[in-house]
Amino acid sequence: MKVVAGLGNPGIKYAGTRHNVGFEAVNLLAEQLGVQWKEGKHKSLIAEANAAGEKIFLVKPLTFMNLSGEAIRPLLDYYKCTPEDLLVIYDDLDLDPGVLRLRLKGGHGGHNGIKSLIAHLNTKDFKRMRIGVGKPEPGISVTAHVLGTFAPEEKAEVKNAAERAAKAAEAWFTLPFHDVMNEYNKKMPE
């Protein structure tokens, strides 16, 4: 089994915000796979699919970003998945808007959703896909920035990154993650 979790905040109030690009990517992946979201156990929306002979779970935690581990850990336990079976898609302030970066593991980089996952999983060893949302302008707090919407000139870049993230996640269903990283970490042509 494989689990692809997009991080974000539930509710209309947060739709389209920088913090919700993980939700956007898994929504696009659900469309690609032709599956519907259902409210599931474990404080999450879940969409189930089959790909390459494996059961795939797409997950959107409903715990709000900073408590993402409270939803994902019980889900992994219930389905007898390990952190190696998990790919997490989320926003990253240190990447320019629209930049996509995949990693096998790492620290939290100040991201509270990832801090929560590391604390609940007791490991940093899970796959990550980061979508750049850029740094806040001077005088704007990090919270206001990530809970704000994208500038008009950023929207197309970020939509493209979310689409690439969904394609990269789907590629992982049939390819080793190293191969997916090699393909999707390439700089996109201007």
Q: Is residue 190 part of a domain?
A: no
Note whether 44 and 62 are within 8 A (CB).
yes
Query: Domain containing 20 — which CATH number?
Result: 3.40.50.1470
Q: How many domains does the chain have?
A: 1
Query: Exposed, middle or buried by CB within 10 Å (0-12, 13-18, 19+), for 137?
Result: exposed
User: Containing domain of residue 15, as a range?
Assistant: 2-184
pLDDT digits (tens, 9 = 90+) for 57-81: 999 999 999 999 999 999 999 999 9
Distance, in Å, from the CA atom of 123 to the CA atom of 48, rounded to the nearest integer, reads 25
- pTM equals 0.95
Q: Is residue 82 part of a domain?
A: yes
Q: Is the pLDDT of residue 190 over 70?
A: no
State the catalytic residues.
Answer: 19
Q: Is residue 121 part of a domain?
A: yes
* pLDDT of amino acid 185: 93
Q: Is residue 74 part of a domain?
A: yes
